[in-house]
Structure 1
Amino acid sequence: MLDKITIAENIIKENPDSALVLLNTINTEHLASPPIEAKYNLLRTMAEDKCYVVHIDAKRINKSVDYYKKHGSISEKLKSLFYQGRVYKDMDSTEIALTSLLKAYSLSDITNDYIDKGLICFHIADLYAENFELKYANKYIKEAVHYFTVANDPVNLGLALNLTARLKMYEGEYLQAISFYSDAINIFAAAKRDDLVITNIAAIASLYLQNLDDPNKAYSTMFDMYKTYEIRDIPPPHYPLLSHIYSYLGDKQKAISMISDYIEKNAPDDESRATAYFMKSGYEHELGEYAEAYNNLLKYIDLTDSINLNETNLLLAEVEKKYEQKELENTLLNLKKQNKYRMMIICLVLTIIALSSIVIFYQAKRRIIKSRKEKIELETIIERLSEDNKEIAELKNKLDVLLNENNENEIRLKKVMCDKILYIQKIADITSIYDNNAELFLEKIKATIINAGRDTYFGELHEVVNDRFYGIVNYLKDKHPTLNEDEINLCCLICFGFDNNQISILFGHKNYNSIFTKRHKVRKKLGINTISLENYIRELIVNLKKNSTRGRG
């Protein structure tokens, strides 16, 4: 067993897949000692991480961290903390992941492995970027670029430049972002990583299209880069983006053809397919092909409902598991308390017996004094028992509140599902009633889509956005009372990353330029002059999050 662990340790950098296969053959029940178990757990986590296995459980790496915290070398502490951060990052536990990685960073001065140093800095920067803490993200990504350059590690250097480009994009420095994406493409091309070249080409084209409003440049950039880097066929992930570009250029038929190919042959999952159906429906709606637009919109709704149902079932299972675990913890806690009380009673009885034996040999006066002391001790114990009973009652009340909240959430979920079913029923009624009157059918369909946008899509939008983005809706209503309902809805959709085309469809605009008029009014009411509406909202979310964190502190 020890020989297998040693072999895995020697080959893990160059052949992590072989190391993982070897480690999987070890029976963990026979790990001989805590040091061997700690090394096995660390190597297993390292091998899975290097093989791009998504981490879902931190128990194994936590055991290594706990052991090396007391008994390990600085190098072992650093590695265990780094991979603990990687595991919690995969599990979306951002705060725990960041804490572990920063601890690893504080120990990194002792190592000369520049790749390890760079990876620590890279993942810290990535976590700060997810939270829009751009000042700290820029600090650590600069260090990561330096370390990967010194280590002559082209792939990680390209990934660091890609993250730098994303940070520039968040800051509104779009041309600088394009420059960093271009540098990353050159590095990935030299390393023969065509998959990463393709990803960064798409990022540049998207910047030209979405942020710089230049669809011609987006189109020419993509195909020029295809030619430069000898990409003969359009990569499947680029189909939606190219379809979007064709739409902006006015070639709706080409846009529909490309997104149709993506749906039929290349969409990797239901979520991508749903988005593609939504895009196709929008293009067909603009061309006046309302029947096709309606059918594709129904497909989008069906897929979205299926995805939401799966996510809801997973969430319910997770809540149920946590509830059962909490119940088990409460039961164990109660048993411990009961054992504690029993031991206290036993000790008290033994004390009384001992005191009674001693009292026989003392004078009556001393008996009275000791009896009084015993009475005081008993009263103290009774008071403590009373306080413990109050704490138990409070815990029970809290549990009842949590159960009531879960019931309320289930009722709200059922209401949302009923609303969607009623919406589909309404569409079916219109189809059957106005089947022979095309003009009236189209008029009713348009009205239904617009009304559905208000009721179905915006029904609980304010509450969801307010909860997810630190009270931003309350802030906008309080600080900018001139904003009307539609303008608040526009800001809410931007919070979730909706682009202009998607927002225009949800608002039911007949003229695509209407969305820009609405955006101009919002910017004017918010007093925005120098930055985009997206950047203003992004910065506002960061500030609200900081204020929320201070409030909890």
Structure 2
Amino acid sequence: MGRSILFLSILYLLTSCGQNGFIEGELLRANGLMRSQPDSALYIIENINSENISRRSTRARYALLYSQALDKNGIDLISDSLIRPAINYFQNHGRNIDKAKAWYYLARIYDNQGDLDNAIKSYIEAERFMVGTRARRLLAMLYANIGNLYTMQYSFDEALFMYEKALEVYRPLQTVNEAYVLQAKASTQSILGQYDEALETLAQAKKVALVHMDTICLLNIAQSTAATIMEMDDNLLSAKDAKSIIFDACREYNKGVIPGDMLPILSDCYFKLNQLDSAKCHALKALDYSEEDQDHRSLGLYALLARICEAKADYSTANDYLQRRIVLADSLNESDKLNLVQDLEQKYHTKQVEQSYKRLRNQHIAISIFASLIIIILGGVAWIIHRRRKALRDEYLGFADLIKGDHLSLQKKYAELEHLHGREDEKSRRLFAALDNRLQSLQKILELASTYEGNADVFYEKVRKHLKIEGNKSGKALDDLFDITNLYYNDIIFYLQAHYPKLNQDDLALCCMVCLGFSPQQTRLIFNHTNSYSIYTKRSKLRSKLGLTDVDNLEDFFAEHIKKLKYKS
């Protein structure tokens, strides 16, 4: 009986090892195809029976490669259940590149969920593990994705900064991805009204895309170029140029077929050229293309169709399109929209008064177009204000969660510094008193979060007022920070001021926190940086001002210079 059990155990182990060996071979084969043939890599992984995976390392590798294959095939994951085994395993095992990839694809999942705060935190973790690896392509993708997140948050200057970092990494690699990042950069420049710079950036993108003959990218660049030209100069010449760009690109790269994404701008070109039938035809095609999800493009198309029909004196149809637009855009000012509709209805019912109509025709059209623009602008401003307020409210709630998680570690850090350096002189006593006050301030935010749980608007107002009061105190409270850091760390701040004149007061304060050993999250708490992206951006800009590359570590830089200054003294 004992021999039988032993035999079965050995047989099970041999079978298990054989299955793992086969699966690891398949994963290795999928990894080799990941960049050039991602669809084949996904096919291989999908045909692996995950129930036969017994080793944690193999399961982690399977989870990572499966997540990577799905992402590369344009399949958006919105649950972290697949990538989680990789995160858990590589946290304490494996190479840094594996850790970096695991955090990167977790960030992609958070991005798909719309959880921008956790997305940026995961990207930061991914970048930390990329330092010293050869994952340049992944690093460039990371910077580009962070740039996209900034754009979604209307932080356009920060977005341009991250796109440029992505381009610095992409240029030596000579991949078509450089063209896509250049196009994203141009879109952001256009939003900021930097039209000449945007067109120059798009021209660079076209050169890169032509090298790789990426027709999808070339069509997108043509569309962006046409849109930018129309935004620059609203005249007949611009409309002609934009239309030519679209037709030339479609003829050369898409067998003459106009993609659905280009139909709205082409319709607008025809409208500017007073070719109303063509304008309406292309607008209707675009509406059919986008009507399934009733997105914001449909909103603009209804307004465009109303203007086209009004220009053709077809007021009944214009009225119909504006009614549809009202139903779709319920966030706009209802009374203004109804007044506009009533004005069009009155025009329609009095159409028989031909002589009066001829005299007032141009005036009515101008008023209607102006009213439409005012409604769109006011609605857009109201939506942006509402979105910004909601983003700030979520930001403060996230800051309260950060305090809950890191408050204890911050207290321990204070105790450690006090034990090392004490409160022997007046400046030290003032500095530690300021840090004590900061702990009490953070505790106050925790109390507000508990008191107003479930009432986010009231919590937002209370925290906003509290942070304003604390902000007025902080300048005086931390005046001694530079002196204390110089005292403890061999005049490092004096050295930085002498050798890096571009550093401002905020940069030097961040240098002090790094020298004192505070983590980025602890630094956020001390300086009340409610925006999770701000500390990351400040560290990136500081690294640039110090002349450091992406692979250089800030903490190592300061440790090395403090050591050198010690020997000099």
With normalisation by structure 1, the TM-score equals: 0.55
Superimposed CA distance per residue, residues 436-487 of structure 1 (whole angstroms, 9 cap, x where no aligned partner): 99669x99xx9xx99x999x99999987654322399xxxxxxxxxxxxxxx
- 2:309 pairs, out of 281, 284, 301, with 284
Partner residue, 1:360: none
- 1:467 pairs, out of 386, 389, 397, with 386
- 2:54 pairs, out of 26, 32, 55, with 32
Moved more, 81-90 or 12-21: 12-21
Partner residue, 2:407: none
Give 1:104 deviation, angstroms: 1.7
Give 1:127 deviation, angstroms: 2.0
Q: Does 1:20 align with 2:42?
A: yes
Q: How does 1:208-357 map to 2 (within 5 A)?
A: 208-224=229-245, 226-227=247-248, 230-231=252-253, 232-263=256-287, 269-271=293-295, 272-273=297-298, 275-301=300-326, 304=328
SS at match of 2:389: coil
Name the aligned partner's letter for residue 173 of structure 1: Q
Moved more, 132-141 or 183-192: 132-141
Partner residue, 1:109: 131
* Alignment CA distance shift 1:552-1:147 (3 Å): closer
Superimposed CA distance per residue, residues 145-196 of structure 1 (whole angstroms, 9 cap, x where no aligned partner): 232221221x201012112212322443210111111221232233222222
* Alignment CA distance shift 1:161-1:23 (3 Å): same
Give me the whole-angstrom Cα distance separating, in 2, the residues matched to 1:53 and 1:147.
26
Contact 1:138 1:164 in 2 (8 A): yes
- 1:188 pairs, out of 209, 212, 218, with 209
- 2:100 pairs, out of 78, 100, 105, with 78
Contact 1:202 1:222 in 2 (8 A): no
Give me the whole-angstrom Cα distance separating, in 1, the residues matched to 2:225 and 2:320.
33
Give me the whole-angstrom Cα distance separating, in 2, the residues matched to 1:81 and 1:61.
9
* Alignment CA distance shift 1:214-1:462 (3 Å): closer
Partner residue, 1:157: 178
Contact 2:264 2:282 in 1 (8 A): yes
State the aligned residue count. Answer: 362
Q: How does 1:116-131 map to 2 (within 5 A)?
A: 116-131=138-153
- 2:193 pairs, out of 167, 172, 176, with 172
* Alignment CA distance shift 1:121-1:273 (3 Å): closer
Partner residue, 2:79: 57
Give 1:265 deviation, angstroms: 6.8
Give me the whole-angstrom Cα distance separating, in 1, the residues matched to 2:118 and 2:29.
32
Contact 1:219 1:242 in 2 (8 A): no
Name the aligned partner's letter for residue 293 of structure 1: A
Superimposed CA distance per residue, residues 307-357 of structure 1 (whole angstroms, 9 cap, x where no aligned partner): x8xxxxxxxxxxxxxxxxxxxxxxxxxxxxxxxxxxxxxxxxxxxxxxxxx
Give me the whole-angstrom Cα distance separating, in 1, the residues matched to 2:273 and 2:119.
44
Give me the whole-angstrom Cα distance separating, in 2, the residues matched to 1:147 and 1:460.
40
Give me the whole-angstrom Cα distance separating, in 2, the residues matched to 1:211 and 1:460.
23
Bigger radius of gyration among the two: 1
Give 1:65 deviation, angstroms: 1.5
Name the aligned partner's letter for residue 322 of structure 2: L
* Alignment CA distance shift 1:215-1:31 (3 Å): farther
Contact 1:114 1:150 in 2 (8 A): no
* Alignment CA distance shift 1:164-1:461 (3 Å): closer
Q: Does 1:99 align with 2:121?
A: yes
* Alignment CA distance shift 1:238-1:453 (3 Å): closer
Contact 1:161 1:180 in 2 (8 A): yes
Q: How does 1:376-525 map to 2 (within 5 A)?
A: 465-470=384-389
Partner residue, 2:480: none
Contact 2:226 2:246 in 1 (8 A): no
Name the aligned partner's letter for residue 60 of structure 2: A
Consecutive unaligned residues of structure 2, counting only runs of 5 or more, are 1-18, 392-527, 533-569
Give 1:103 deviation, angstroms: 2.0
Superimposed CA distance per residue, residues 255-291 of structure 1 (whole angstroms, 9 cap, x where no aligned partner): 2233234345786754345543332122212433111
Q: How does 1:36-47 map to 2 (within 5 A)?
A: 36-47=58-69
Give me the whole-angstrom Cα distance separating, in 2, the residues matched to 1:464 and 1:220.
33
Superimposed CA distance per residue, residues 516-543 of structure 1 (whole angstroms, 9 cap, x where no aligned partner): xxxxxxxxxxxxxxxxxxxxxxxxxxxx
Give me the whole-angstrom Cα distance separating, in 1, the residues matched to 2:46 and 2:145.
27
* Alignment CA distance shift 1:225-1:268 (3 Å): same
* Alignment CA distance shift 1:17-1:283 (3 Å): same
Superimposed CA distance per residue, residues 337-395 of structure 1 (whole angstroms, 9 cap, x where no aligned partner): xxxxxxxxxxxxxxxxxxxxxxxxxxxxxxxxxxxxxxxxxxxxxxxxxxxxxxxxxxx
Contact 1:204 1:218 in 2 (8 A): no
Give 1:5 deviation, angstroms: 2.9
Name the aligned partner's letter for residue 69 of structure 2: A
Partner residue, 1:537: none
* Alignment CA distance shift 1:67-1:285 (3 Å): same
* Alignment CA distance shift 1:278-1:171 (3 Å): closer
Contact 2:240 2:273 in 1 (8 A): no
* Alignment CA distance shift 1:181-1:69 (3 Å): same
SS at match of 1:110: coil
Contact 1:89 1:97 in 2 (8 A): yes
Give me the whole-angstrom Cα distance separating, in 1, the residues matched to 2:531 and 2:222.
42
Give me the whole-angstrom Cα distance separating, in 2, the residues matched to 1:237 and 1:552.
34
Give me the whole-angstrom Cα distance separating, in 2, the residues matched to 1:160 and 1:465.
25
SS at match of 2:252: coil
Superimposed CA distance per residue, residues 387-433 of structure 1 (whole angstroms, 9 cap, x where no aligned partner): xxxxxxxxxxxxxxxxxxxxxxxxxx9xx9xx89x979x98xx89xx
* Alignment CA distance shift 1:436-1:207 (3 Å): closer
SS at match of 2:36: coil
* Alignment CA distance shift 1:265-1:20 (3 Å): closer
Superimposed CA distance per residue, residues 21-74 of structure 1 (whole angstroms, 9 cap, x where no aligned partner): 222233334431322221111111100000011121122223322221122221
SS at match of 2:92: helix
Give me the whole-angstrom Cα distance separating, in 2, the residues matched to 1:212 and 1:458.
19
SS at match of 2:193: coil
Partner residue, 1:526: none
